[in-house]
Chains A and B, each alone.
Chain A
Amino acid sequence: MIWADLTPGVQDALTLAALLCPIAVLGAVLLQGYAPWPLVAAMLRRFRWTALIFVAVVAGSVAIGVGLIAQERGLRIGTARAADGFDIVVTAPGSEVTMMLASVYLQATDAPLLDGETYAEIAGAEHVALAAPLAFGDSVGRAPVVGTTADLVTHLAKGPLEGRMFTARHEAVVGAMVPLRLGESFEPAHGVGDGADDHAHDVDFVVVGRMPVTGTPWDHAVVIPIEAVWGVHGLADGHDAGHDHEDHEAGDHDHGDDHAAAEHLGPPFDPAYFPGTPAIVVKADSLAASYALRSRFTRDRETMAFFPGTVLSQLYAIMGDLRAAMSVMALVSQALVAASVLVGLFILTRLFARHLAVLRALGAPGRYLMAVVWLFSSVLLGAGALVGLGGGILATWGLSRILSARTGIAVPATFGWAELHLVAGFVLVAMVLALLPAIAALRLPVLARLRA
């Protein structure tokens, strides 16, 4: 059996055991046959405030380490999950990252448009299960307004809507977190954020449906038919107004003020009346087809097709390098923490130098003095590590909620082996370092302390 053959879980468990084992061996060797606990407990009680401060410092540094690791992983998982529904995105050539941020994470940007022929070609291509154009740029309060097709909403929602899908141009489906009730109406503002122009569009929309929680920024978005976005901007609506549209006769007629042409929503679009879209979300019917479609629509001057998942991995790779750089800094700061822990232990040891001298005078062997000092230090370090682990988990949980609220990406608060390894590694190093003051305790001048 070799290491690589083991499951990751077993490898992680073995790594943890390998980190904890030396601590157990160290403790066993030092404490073998001795009973220093009552004395150590009494000293902990006597120096409880100093001990508490020491524990708090250790816990703080451990919690920060645990929190950083867990948070980084949570962000990675959260952003990846948010991109799940987006197999391929086709845009005009430009920055994949910018366009991914715009389409998946709804970070509005000015982008060149793809025209109706391009859309028609993509939508009509073999193995394309879904081709949804996107239109952004408007907002309701802090929620971005996205124009697209009902198919994409169904695809992203991954479950039944509360209420129903939009079937008319003035209807909207909102993300799970949008503070608009079903039946409530709103007027979108042109633009996003502080610069938004509240009364640019004199059009009212009514909320008819709500998506289930998706864990993506779309939870904070208001989705309306793309025809409506084009319409409020005074553009063609993608359909030839002269044609009749029997296929949509089943549409909702409650709102009699709508003229019939408005009821024709979604594909197919007429290229001649297609005002353009900055991004098309494409879903292929198979993985192989995804790759084929991506290369087919990657054309130098016309279109750019990419997998958001791949772009994310590239970003993570860069972040991985950053992480490596940061881990050097983390290591330096951990070393500083270890150094201060060591200094703290030396100072703590001074607190009971006289105890140790008396024990020596009463015949205590050197190993017993070491055991007392080491056990005292280890209790503090162990308590600090445990409190820090708990604090780190709590902090992760709290930070995840804040980040989720801020970014709209559901950042999961996960707890993994890496945190346990970090804590175990810290405890191992600290407890080995705790031997130094223990050894120093042996060298204390006994008689001088007795006379002092």
Chain B
Amino acid sequence: MRRMDKRALKLRDLVVLTEECAPLAEVPALDVAAGEALGISGPSGAGKSSLLFALAGLAPRMRGSVLWGDTDLSALGTPARAAFRARHIGLIFQDHLLFEELGALANATVVAGFRSRSERRALQDEAARRLSSLSLPDDARDVSRFSGGERQRVAVARALAHRPSILLADEPTASLDSANAEHLTQLLLAEAHQAGRTLIVVSHDPQLLARMDRVITMSHGVLVNDFKGGSQ
């Protein structure tokens, strides 16, 4: 298995735009260290998801720079951004976005289809390990029959199966009860603090936000507060 490198984030003069060039989020400067856990909070419609998608190189338009280590996503074309995501970023979506017709393992390894043969093996192993550590049954059931909590855990396993150096999560605890939410929060923090993945989580969940190394708050598309907390 390839060694995971670590990637710090450096945003400079970032403006995330809609297709019609209306601004969705603006961040003049933001630095996140490799292995740091950053929370993004703010009212609904503040532009949190828009910012997170921009960090993944998924914004259709943006200005300024999104530097992950020495790679500036804003300078890359669509294929190179996709390739960067495939290698370095694990994404957890607000509503999971699983493939309903596939089982848990097939969902967690859905990216295997475009990986090389050797990577496929490693991916399978890692996904299976993740699923069992998340205590998900490795059966052939379609995920459409899964509960919200089970689905969320499959989404987490999918985001981590390729051992990304960056983990981006949008409302990961939204569909979970407090025990499950707590469990997932611990897992995400461990990924940051023990595995050294740079973790950025968008959330309304005060429990989760309180455990982050740092929380930024957005309102109407702009950064209004940068609060350094402690999660230990």
Contacts and interface: CB of A to CB of B under 8 A. Distances in A.
Contacts of A365: 79, 82-83, 86, 114
B53 A363 contact: no
B187 interface: no
Contacts of B86: 362-365
Main secondary structure on chain B at its contact with chain A? helix
Interface stretch (A13-21, A42-50, A90-98, A152-160): A42-50
Interface string B61-102: 000000000000000001100111111010101000101111
Interface string B97-121: 1011110001000111110100010
Given A36-B113, A447-B58, A363 B89 contact: yes
Contact of B106 (A38, A355, A360, A446): A38
A35 B79 CA distance: 19
A140 to B, nearest CB: 66
Interface in B133-151: none
Interface in A376-393: none
A39 interface: yes
A358 B82 contact: no
Contact of B116 (A33, A42, A46): A33
A362 B86 CA distance: 6
Contact of B110 (A34, A46, A362): A362
Contacts of B106: 38-39, 42
Contacts of B111: 359, 362-364
B187 to A, nearest CB: 20
Contact of B85 (A35, A38, A39, A361): A361
A363 B83 contact: yes
A366 interface: yes
Contact of A39 (B56, B89, B99): B99
A306 interface: no
Contacts of A366: 78-79, 82
A337 to B, nearest CB: 29
Find the residue from B59, B86, B93, B113 having the highest chain A CB count within 10 A. Answer: B113
Contacts of B120: 35
Nearest to A363: B86
B60 interface: yes
Contacts of A45: 101
Contact of A360 (B82, B87, B99, B101): B82
B116 A363 contact: no
Contacts of B112: 35
Interface in B30-52: 49
Contact of A446 (B58, B79, B99, B102): B58
Interface in A354-374: 354-355, 358-366, 368, 372
A450 interface: yes
Nearest to A36: B113
A429 B65 CA distance: 45
A38 B60 CA distance: 30
A153 B158 CA distance: 82
A447 B114 contact: no
21 contacts: A34-B113, A35-B113, A38-B102, A39-B99, A39-B106, A42-B101, A358-B93, A358-B97, A361-B56, A361-B58, A362-B85, A363-B84, A363-B89, A364-B82, A364-B111, A364-B113, A365-B86, A366-B79, A368-B113, A368-B114, A447-B59
Interface of B: 19, 49, 53, 56, 58-60, 78-79, 82-87, 89, 91, 93, 97, 99-102, 106, 110-114, 116, 120, 158
Given A364-B111, A446-B58, 14 more contacts: A35-B112, A35-B113, A42-B99, A42-B106, A45-B101, A359-B110, A361-B58, A361-B93, A363-B83, A363-B86, A363-B89, A365-B82, A366-B82, A450-B93
